[in-house]
Amino acid sequence: MTVSARLADFVAASRWEDIPAPARHEAKRALLSYFGTALGGSRDIATQHLLQVLSRFSGPAEAGIIGHQLRLDMLSAAFLNAAASNVFDFDDTHDPTIIHPTAPVAPVLFALAEHRPVAGRELLHAFVLGVEIECRLGNAVSPEHYARGWHITSTCGAFGAAIAAGKLLGLVPRQLVWALGSASSQASGLVETLGTMAKSVGVGGAARGGLFAALLAQQGLAGPDEPIAGPRGFAHVTAASPDFARLTNGLGESWEILANMIKPYPCGVVLNAVIDAAMVLRQRLGGKLADIAQLEVVAHPLLRQRTDRPAPLSGREAQVSAHHAVAATLLHGLPGVDQFGDAWVGREDVIALRAKVYLVDDAAMPVGAVRLSAQTTDGRLFRVEIAEARGSRSHPLSDAEIEQKLRRLCQHGCPGLDPAPLIDAVWSLDEQADAGVLMRLARP
């Protein structure tokens, strides 16, 4: 039996009852984060450009765009919501692969749910399965796939979207393999595009391509028997030595969604501990930032290698600048999308404070830990140590913090919308008769 057929059989046979409660709950947390980041990104310039072009070619207005009144055809809506939810890289992250698992998968399901009634648990079930295959595929081709230059969210996302859509459409195993085949014909996305708007073309394309693949399979469009593990299939072509055991071992026993992390801050995850430390320091300093003479960040050399950017010139660069992270957090408190945007990067007070930050290596410290010290002009020393950042798997955001994240992102991208009913509807999604309700609640 081929690897692709085993995955298809598992997905087709899976029942809602098979999904354990922790996985169901984690799925809701991911969806809450999804609506938050999609609302937050709904007015971003990349989102707007994509919306302009896609709406010009859209078919029937059957599926909503989160944070907009506008409705587009399912394929275009899936594209746009995927792109918007990932545009700030503030969406959830699958720890072992750094896939953003929800962006390509969730929009496909909600587009289908607006087209015909889908029960909340049907959608949640398909979502968990889509994420499962997407992330297992990521496991199988990691770490070489990303290291070589593949934007793993976009590439593996197309397969996750195809599986999720296929499950919701009730495809039989043979059709699910075909869907994987047509997904393999579209899987794309390069690391080279990260930090530019073209990244969003890959992420949107993963959602659209996956949905298209499932619809084609439903129509009868056949593909190869082994699109994933065949000699010229996706895995071998994009990674020299894929590990197929990681795709198929323990299917239905372990759940990849449980390895999902919700980001607390809209920047590179390596900066999470830095910001945690700056939050504590800010409280200790009681707002007396003018007294600061210098700010020392001590960490494993990896932090310096990735984030030593004393003078970022754009929001994109600031998102991987430890100097900016410290300065913006001290000045503002809990940093949001604005604090990692172009305007904040150019503020005089930010620039002045950033100039006082420097990084020091300590190879003896564990990766992820940070020691932040502030020395004041009158010689006092404040020191904060963070052993493990918020948002990591062992230190996850609370449900309330994810709600808070959604509210703040909604305020940023779609201030006209009251997010409270949407938040409630996500938590009760498994009881909803019509999952499409959530899209109406995400419409201003």
What does the binding site for a copy of itself look like in residue numbers (CB under 8 A)?
A: 46, 49-50, 52-53, 56-60, 73-76, 148-151, 154, 178, 181-182, 184-193, 195-199, 201-202, 205, 209, 212-213, 215-216, 219-224, 226-227, 230-234, 236-237
Q: By C-beta, is 159 or 265 nearer to a copy of itself?
A: 159
CB of 211 to a copy of itself, least distance (A): 10
Task: Please say which residue, 58 or 329, places its beta carbon nearer to a copy of itself.
Answer: 58
CB of 225 to a copy of itself, least distance (A): 9
Closest approach, Cβ 403 to a copy of itself, in A, equals 33
Of 112, 124, 200, 127, whose CA–CA distance to 160 is shortest? 127
Q: What angle do CA 285, 298, 350 make, to 5 degrees?
A: 50
Select 110 or 150, whichever has its Cβ closest to a copy of itself.
150
Strands ordered across the beta sheet of 357-361:
357-361, 292-299, 370-376, 381-386
Nearest approach, Cβ of residue 74 and a copy of itself (Å): 7
Torsion of CA 267, 273, 278, 279, to 10 degrees: 90
State the nearest-atom distance from the C-beta of 25 to a copy of itself, in Å.
Answer: 34
Give 3-23 as a DSSP string: HHHHHHHHHHH--GGGS-HHH
How many Cβ atoms from other residues are within 10 Å of residue 6's Cβ? 18
Closest CB to a copy of itself among 97 and 154? 154
Of 241 and 394, which has the nearer Cβ to a copy of itself? 241
Q: What's the closest the beta carbon of residue 252 comes to a copy of itself, in angstroms?
A: 27
Query: CB burial class (10 A; 0-12, 13-18, 19+) of residue 376?
Result: middle
Query: What token pair was written down for 336?
Result: 């949001």
- Nearer CB in complex with a copy of itself: 151/356: 151
Write the DSSP string, 138-206.
HHHHTTHHHHHTB-HHHHHHHHHHHHHHHHHTT--HHHHHHHHHHHHTT---BGGGTTSTHHHHHHHHH
- Residue whose entry in the numeric block shows the structure tokens 């409270």: 420
Cβ-Cβ contacts under 8 Å for 52 (sequence gap 6 or more): none
Alpha carbon 272 to chain centroid, angstroms: 15
CB-wise, 137 or 278, nearer to a copy of itself? 137
Of 30 and 180, which CB lies nearer to a copy of itself in the complex structure?
A: 180
Closest separation in Å from C-beta 324 to a copy of itself: 21
Q: For the CB of residue 371, give the shortest distance to a copy of itself in the complex, in Å.
A: 32
The CA dihedral of 299, 301, 302, 304, to the nearest 10 degrees, is 80
Nearest distance, CB of residue 86 and a copy of itself, angstroms: 13
Q: Which residue is associated with the tokens 């984030």?
A: 307
Nearest CA to 47 among 429, 423, 420, 412?
A: 412
Nearer to a copy of itself, 219 or 394 (CB): 219
Q: Strands 63-64 and 71-72: what pairing? A: antiparallel
Q: Which helix (H) or strand (E) holds 383?
A: strand 381-386
